[in-house]
Amino acid sequence: MTDTAQSDSQPKETAKTQLMRDSGGSAAASESYAELVADLRDTFRKGHTRPLSWRRTQLEALVAMLSDNEREFAEAMREDLGRPPMEAFGADIGTTRTEIKHMLKHFESWAKPRKASMPITVQPARGRVIPEPLGVALVISPWNYPVQLLVHPMAAAIAAGNAVVAKPSELSPATSAVLARLVPNYVDDQAVVLVEGAVQETTALLEQEFDYIFFTGSTNVGRIVMQAAAKHLTPVTLELGGKSPTLVASDADIEVAARRIMWGKFLNAGQTCIAPDYVLVEAPVRDRLVGKMADTLREFYGDDPRLCDDYGRIVNGRHLDRLQNLLRSSGGTVAIGGQIDATDRYIAPTVVVDPDLSAPIMQEEIFGPLLPVLTVESIDEAVAFVNDRPKPLALYVFSGSSAIIEEVIERTSSGGACVNHCVMHILPSDLPFGGVGPSGMGAYGGRAGFDTFSHLKSVLYKPQKPDPRLLYPPYTAMKSKIAHKAM
């Protein structure tokens, strides 16, 4: 924890927090943010964030923040999303803390210059790739995992030696308020600033010139972020979404597949970017899979999930209405669930069998507790189905056959994939997480996150002597012969 860490619940008042709180109106906000970014860039240029000791102190402070305030974060996520404490810890607090601890173990080695071999054409010489921080990074996070998806990339940016502006989502206001109160009490507010707000504030932030933008959210908003970044030629990482397919072969362990798909889908009430969006199951085991899904949901949440403390809620009324419309227009058979209580922001875990392929539920990312199950005659048909659609953020395949598994992995493209489970591939630090095509660009997690927020600068070192004349005119026949032989 830094010297600025405080145990009380009041935020440390600084010039920056005063600036952010008092700015009003789009023009005023833009002016305030321009001043904020200029101050952070000045801090960065003075070398404030470069020392490894500073980076370590900030990362340790973030671990302390998550540990000291676990209950408060969990309560905020319960208020925002109806999240059970175990989900809040496992998917947000504990996962993020583990990732930062991994950074603490390795970031100093990641920051060291990396040797590069030199070909004979440049000898004598040595080469190094030097990771250097980019400058001032903007991290914009969504509402569905409001701690993990803000603090994790923020920590990666800090580990790489950058100053950071962090923008949590206004759609998870309780968690955003806790972060806004705690972050300046734990980390160095001269280099790391959290800004609350909605569309107006985000738009004003995007008008500023950052050295890197890291955005997690919808594909539509990702396009807006990329357009804004293009004005300044600012590089971006976009962690987006899409319709992540789940393929179930007839030789899969159907009971295990049902349990793992139900867990991955209905975690956080389906509001997960890598949740199974739809299932493609071979015809001979379709009915058995759906039956086991129903059994699993009773095992997880009882006969009435609405009464179960372990099942979450939809983030707000607008998203509930959207999901209700998806269900109503699906054209399929509701085999499980379907109950909705708008006053409680509740939608039951729902399985829809063989919906209309042209219906919105099969055209849009669902991002909620509705799971279409489609019947296919073969895994080949399932692979063709996936390949006819935009590349997803995740892909899941269940089978007991290594040949089928490898066929699916090799013939499809997705941001990441998981075999015989769901969602779990996001956990290992050494597996970079990111999208491909419309599901995103760039990756983070472990060293990939450090490299994302670094410029890997190539440097060639040459001695002053010897100074062979081969490179210089006049270009004789002998020099040409030597060059052709060497290259």
pLDDT at residue 28 in the model: 64
pLDDT at residue 4 in the model: 37
pLDDT at residue 295 in the model: 98
Number of neighbouring beta carbons within 10 Å of residue 231 = 10
pLDDT at residue 3 in the model: 38
> CATH homologous superfamily of domain 15-240+441-456?
Aldehyde Dehydrogenase; Chain A, domain 1 (3.40.605.10)
pLDDT at residue 470 in the model: 87
Q: Please state the pTM of the whole predicted model.
A: 0.93
- The type of residue at 397 is V
Residue ranges, CATH 3.40.605.10, the chain:
15-240+441-456
pLDDT at residue 360 in the model: 98
- Angle, in degrees to the nearest 10, between helices 52-68 and 148-159: 160
The string of pLDDT tens digits covering residues 157-208 is 999 999 999 999 999 999 999 999 999 999 999 999 999 999 999 999 999 9
The mean per-residue pLDDT over the stretch 317-329 comes to 98
pLDDT at residue 362 in the model: 98
The string of pLDDT tens digits covering residues 201-239 is 999 999 999 999 999 999 999 999 999 999 999 999 999
The string of pLDDT tens digits covering residues 342-395 is 999 999 999 999 999 999 999 999 999 999 999 999 999 999 999 999 999 999
pLDDT at 443 over 60: yes
232 near 251, Cβ under 8 Å?
no
pLDDT at residue 465 in the model: 94
pLDDT at residue 324 in the model: 98
Residue/partner pairs of 301-306 with CB below 8 Å, 24 or more apart: 301/349, 305/337, 305/348, 305/349, 306/339, 306/341, 306/344, 306/346, 306/348
The mean per-residue pLDDT over the stretch 86-104 comes to 97
pLDDT at residue 15 in the model: 44
Number of neighbouring beta carbons within 10 Å of residue 319 = 17
Query: Cα–Cα distance between 475 and 482 in angstroms, integer?
Result: 11
Residue ranges, CATH 3.40.309.10, the chain:
245-434
Residues designated catalytic: 239, 273
Average per-residue pLDDT for the chain:
94
pLDDT at residue 16 in the model: 56
The mean per-residue pLDDT over the stretch 298-305 comes to 97
pLDDT at residue 18 in the model: 46
The mean per-residue pLDDT over the stretch 242-271 comes to 98
Residues 6+ apart with CB under 8 A from 24: none
pLDDT at residue 479 in the model: 87
Query: Cα–Cα distance between 107 and 156 in angstroms, integer?
Result: 9
pLDDT at residue 486 in the model: 84
pLDDT at residue 437 in the model: 95
pLDDT at residue 2 in the model: 39
The string of pLDDT tens digits covering residues 409-433 is 999 999 999 999 999 999 999 999 9
pLDDT at 12 over 80: no
Provide DSSP, 394-457.
EEEEE-S-HHHHHHHHHH---SEEEESSSSGGGS-TTS-EE--GGGEE-EESTHHHHHHTEEEE
The mean per-residue pLDDT over the stretch 89-110 comes to 97
30 — pLDDT class (breaks 50, 70, 90): confident
pLDDT at 34 over 70: yes
pLDDT at residue 487 in the model: 85
> CATH homologous superfamily of domain 245-434?
Aldehyde Dehydrogenase; Chain A, domain 2 (3.40.309.10)
